[in-house]
Structure 1
Amino acid sequence: MILEKNQIAAAEAASGKSETQLMELAGKRCADTLLHEYPENDSFLILCGSGNNGGDGFVIARHCLAAKRQVAIILMMNDIRTPAAIEARQKLPESCLIYGYEEMSEAQFQTMAQRYDVIVDCIFGFNFHAPLPDFLRDAFRWINQQRLSVVSIDLNSGLEADHSLGDPDALHSELTLALGALKPVHLFSREHQKLDRLIPISLGFSEPETSRWIQMDALQVTRLLPRLFDNDYKNSTGRLTIIAGSPWMAGAAQFNLEAAQAMGCGMIRAVVDPQIYPILQAACPHVVFHPSTQSEADFLALLSQSDAMALGSGCDHLENLDALLETVLKNSSVPVILDAAALRSLARHPEWLNQPQGEIILTPHVGEFSALCGRSVEEIQADRIRCAEEYAVSHSVTLVLKGADTLIVSPQGLRCVNKTGNPSLAKAGSGDLLTGLIAALAARGLNSMDAACCGVWLHGKAADKAIEKNALYTIHHKEILAGLDAFLMDHQKELWR
């Protein structure tokens, strides 16, 4: 379950529990988890803020003391501001050691932090807004540099609940305990590199009636994937046209085509530069090829025989790319997937997005998205969710913003963050495989959001399967497609009727 800040507040109100009761429940369950995860560690230093996150820390301290662990608290702020936190502090036994951060020297703080086995971060909760206060920044930087053992409660202090990032000096934790539900920022752990492991702590919240967040897993993907039936034939399992490749970039087209075939697309046509046709014909004999120099009438006839179309991978040197893209967007009533050079062409001609009759899927990395939306890379990275949602909704497209934690947003503002994949995908050609997978799924009948979410998830899952038998360094497209085959083999009975 993924909840944003306003949904957390609503869930707390609907729980029927007071702030004090929720704090006692959260603190007890966090303490139990800490004691289970760190059975050999005898001492905990708890850094408490002034709000309810600090109150959680007081409850944790009380239960750890009851378990005969050595505990000390450092109050990182001068005052405690919420009634529930004040009450939680009053329940601490007199034997609990409590220090004030602002009364300590830098050397005293550092000596104390190094003396304890585990630091428990209860400073800022989900209401935090960057930047960090200046008086805490040096302490946060020092803790991060020392790579001390840190457990963050709910959020790593310095991260923002509803955003993909937060302050660059946010605390790094080896474990974060997410209270009640995951928050959006938890989904971007590979982007912000601030948390190593995440454990959800249930507080009994109910699922919201509506959510803007989609979570993909193997069960969800296999439910969405098109089934194969005994009476299927090539035109019933997806007719896909791909415009890809150009002189010096034939490989991008090959990766598109091989991925589309691996995803079960029955009829694949490719529009390619005549110079690279011999290479691709030899590599992909299952594909029907057409020259990129064909007349507009012939091209429109080809469009009419397609269930989806992909355009742009490796097309940087395709002379008539702009003309082809404009024709596609003006005339296609089927889903169109745009990648690479087509995105750069679209950035030069944003008015073409006002013409489409069918669904559009865009697959930019952050640099390409910067050109599309007119924002700097830094601004996008600071708030990927808002930037992606504003663009997808205002332009009525499904946006696949690629990255370590790829974000997919629908024209209606639905969101999905992909959690499959590994660094073996950080190679040229990886995105071309992804475009082929998404395009094939769209051709086989999935709507644009489902095609994008499934394609991205399968792309990452194939890489995860690949590293079971191959080294990260050596994996390329053949191993990725073999990984996809391995996953589909695991679920073959569910996909064949």
Structure 2
Amino acid sequence: MKIVTSEQMRQIDRECIRRGTPGHVLMENAGRAVAEEISRILDPINQKQFLILVGPGNNGGDGLVAARYLHDWGAEVSVYLCSPRPKDDNNLELVQQRKITCIDVAQDKELTRFNELLASADCVIDALFGTGKARPIQGVLAQVLDKVTQVKKKNAGLVVFAIDLPSGLNADTGEVDPVCPLADYTVTLALPKLGLFRFPGAERVGELSIADIGIPAELAADIAIELITEKWARDALPKRPLDANKGTFGRVLAVAGSINYIGAAYLACSGALRVGTGLVTLATASSLQPVLAAKLTETTYLPLPEADSGIISSEAVTIIGQNLKSYHALLLGCGLGQSESVSELISSLLFQKNLPQLVLDADALNTLARIPDWWQKLAGDVILTPHPGEMARLSGLTIAEIQSDRAGIARKYAQEWQKTIVLKGAFTVIASPDGNCRVSPFANPGLASGGTGDVLAGAIAGLLAQGLSLFDAAALGVYLHGKAGEVVKDTLGDTGMLASDLLPVLPGVIKQLREMTKNR
């Protein structure tokens, strides 16, 4: 599913209308879809009090349609007109014909009726502004939204729905007006908007759902950024033939671990195994091998010479090079450390010819960042998995610059460097050298802890070894990792979540995807 800017959405709307779908039909579809989603979430809706805040444009029209359906399905609905509506507004007329309570702010100067309706409401629906709002919200509109926020602070049971996006949230940048409400749920229309995945706006969205309003998917075919969906992830899973052997599911060689980061090697190899890799070999410092073998019983080992205790020697490059040809993916960097010998090893290994597909994480990225024009020297198929700090070192940008436009920055450098980039963080971004980009639907503070990136790097390498393309392996690894995080969060919460908690959950996430019905 594509992610659009406000201008792209307007162009798609116009083209849909030009092809024969009237605007009023799109509005009817939108309002009904919103009402259906609200009914699903708040079921049963009868005897619940709904207050719908209606603005001046299409977003307000969507709210009026939703009001009509919610009323017809048994809800107690009140409409509050916060701005003048067109005199020939058919949706307003249909609301009035049903004797739905409809208050015009022009006749409620002191907001007395508004305050009464808000005090008795179970649910407020924000239908004030959609993608077209760019100016600051002022006057009575600001007062209304501020009042909703104040009442919600005192009444935790008040549910706030936003149509398309919370009013005052910039659909492109994620910037927010001071009175932008904190929605519990946002029902975005047709396609998700880029600003919903950018901060600080993303914190105002609540639970996001996407309503189909009848716009053909082909109209968004040329959009470069897409949201990773459950359906896409299911379809991308590697096949598991009944007559398979371990060679069928690929071989990963992980060069990982050091005396201070033994766990990184364990987590990375386990991540690869838990997504179905046939064979994982850990190349690590020889003194660490017995320690890890007690924990990682399914992994084979390639003990390497040491420069110091638990630190791989640069001389290990020869041994690694001699063993590469039997592997489909090489994972390099997790927990290696930044000693001089390790940096020499990484530099020597990366610029060899005939390397398998590469996944570079952590200390491999830190070493790259110290090599001038590294992207011109690093050939072959490569996935980079930086967090914002590592991306800053690789690109020379500040973390703030990267975080201000994560998708744009990832796309720019994926094309410039001709490497697949996984820019980790809330709503992880995966960018391909061809300019295409995928965005994870997950933002989970529980994943902001040591070791979760090692699990992710291992999962990506494992999927790559099973035959997925670089872009698909990176995106599917991110999705499975993020979904596993959601499962753990639902069980334990997002405080105290460990990277190792993800490992036993990953196979269950894959199983659940495979069991999805084909018509979803």
- What TM bracket, shorter-length normalisation? 0.7 to 0.9
Aligned counterpart, 1:55:
61
Q: Call closer, same or farther: CA 1:141–1:370 in 2, change over 3 Å.
A: farther
Counterpart check, 1:287 vs 2:306: no
Aligned counterpart, 1:455:
477
Counterpart check, 1:408 vs 2:427: no
Q: 1:227 aligns with which of 228, 240, 246?
A: 240
Q: Call closer, same or farther: CA 1:200–1:240 in 2, change over 3 Å.
A: closer
Confirm or deny: 8 A CA contact 2:137 2:168 kept in the other structure: no
Tell me the SS of whatever aligns to 1:320: helix
Q: 1:351 aligns with which of 360, 368, 373?
A: 373
Q: Call closer, same or farther: CA 1:490–1:119 in 2, change over 3 Å.
A: closer
Cα-to-partner distance string for 1:407-459 (whole Å, 9 max, x where unaligned): 22222232323346866544321211111111122123221111112212222
Aligned counterpart, 2:16:
14
Aligned length: 488
> Bigger CA drift: 141-150 or 182-191?
182-191
Counterpart check, 1:368 vs 2:390: yes
Instruction: Tell me the amino acid that sits aligned with residue 23 of structure 1.
Output: M
Q: Distance in 2 between matches of 1:12 and 1:84?
A: 23
Q: 1:39 aligns with which of 45, 49, 52?
A: 45
Q: Call closer, same or farther: CA 1:230–1:120 in 2, change over 3 Å.
A: closer
Instruction: Tell me the amino acid that sits aligned with residue 331 of structure 2.
Output: A
Q: 1:485 aligns with which of 507, 510, 514?
A: 507
Cα-to-partner distance string for 1:41-96 (whole Å, 9 max, x where unaligned): 554433233322123234445566677845232425xx66xx79856556663975
Q: Call closer, same or farther: CA 1:177–1:158 in 2, change over 3 Å.
A: same
Tell me the SS of whatever aligns to 1:158: coil
Aligned counterpart, 2:258:
246
Q: Call closer, same or farther: CA 1:290–1:446 in 2, change over 3 Å.
A: farther
> Bigger CA drift: 188-197 or 5-14?
188-197
Tell me the SS of whatever aligns to 2:96: coil
Q: Distance in 1 between matches of 2:443 and 2:203?
A: 15
Aligned counterpart, 1:326:
347
Aligned counterpart, 1:93:
96
Q: Distance in 1 between matches of 2:274 and 2:194?
A: 33
Confirm or deny: 8 A CA contact 1:23 1:84 kept in the other structure: no
Q: CA deviation at 1:488?
A: 5.2
Tell me the SS of whatever aligns to 2:351: helix
Q: Distance in 1 between matches of 2:60 and 2:147?
A: 21
Q: CA RMSD in A?
A: 3.9
Map 1:100-179 → 2, pairs under 5 A: 100=105, 104=109, 113-129=118-134, 132-133=136-137, 135=139, 140-147=145-152, 148-163=158-173, 166-167=176-177, 170-179=180-189
Aligned counterpart, 1:217:
230
Q: Distance in 2 between matches of 1:493 and 1:137?
A: 47
Q: Distance in 1 between matches of 2:514 and 2:279?
A: 21
**What TM-score, normalized to structure 1?**
0.82
Q: Distance in 1 between matches of 2:419 and 2:95?
A: 54
Tell me the SS of whatever aligns to 1:178: strand
Aligned counterpart, 1:27:
31
Tell me the SS of whatever aligns to 2:265: helix
Q: CA deviation at 1:339?
A: 1.5
Q: Call closer, same or farther: CA 1:287–1:12 in 2, change over 3 Å.
A: farther
Cα-to-partner distance string for 1:171-214 (whole Å, 9 max, x where unaligned): 22223222233334456799823233344433222112625325
Q: CA deviation at 1:342?
A: 2.5
Q: Distance in 2 between matches of 1:264 and 1:117?
A: 47
Confirm or deny: 8 A CA contact 2:187 2:210 kept in the other structure: yes
Confirm or deny: 8 A CA contact 1:151 1:173 kept in the other structure: yes
Tell me the SS of whatever aligns to 1:345: helix
Aligned counterpart, 2:155:
none
Counterpart check, 1:276 vs 2:288: yes
Q: Distance in 1 between matches of 2:473 and 2:53?
A: 45
Q: Distance in 1 between matches of 2:159 and 2:515?
A: 45
Tell me the SS of whatever aligns to 2:186: strand
Q: Distance in 2 between matches of 1:425 and 1:97?
A: 46
Percent identical: 29
Instruction: Tell me the amino acid that sits aligned with residue 56 of structure 2.
Output: S
Q: CA deviation at 1:252?
A: 0.6
Gaps of 5+ in 2: 153-157, 306-311
Q: CA deviation at 1:251?
A: 1.0
Confirm or deny: 8 A CA contact 1:29 1:201 kept in the other structure: yes
Gaps of 5+ in 1: none
Instruction: Tell me the amino acid that sits aligned with residue 245 of structure 2.
Output: D
Q: Call closer, same or farther: CA 1:123–1:239 in 2, change over 3 Å.
A: same
Cα-to-partner distance string for 1:333-382 (whole Å, 9 max, x where unaligned): 43221222223333343621222221221222233334334444444444
Tell me the SS of whatever aligns to 1:73: strand
Q: Distance in 1 between matches of 2:75 and 2:145?
A: 28
Q: CA deviation at 1:134?
A: 5.3
Q: Call closer, same or farther: CA 1:59–1:377 in 2, change over 3 Å.
A: same
Aligned counterpart, 2:215:
205
Tell me the SS of whatever aligns to 2:171: coil
Q: CA deviation at 1:121?
A: 1.0
**What TM-score, normalized to structure 2?**
0.78
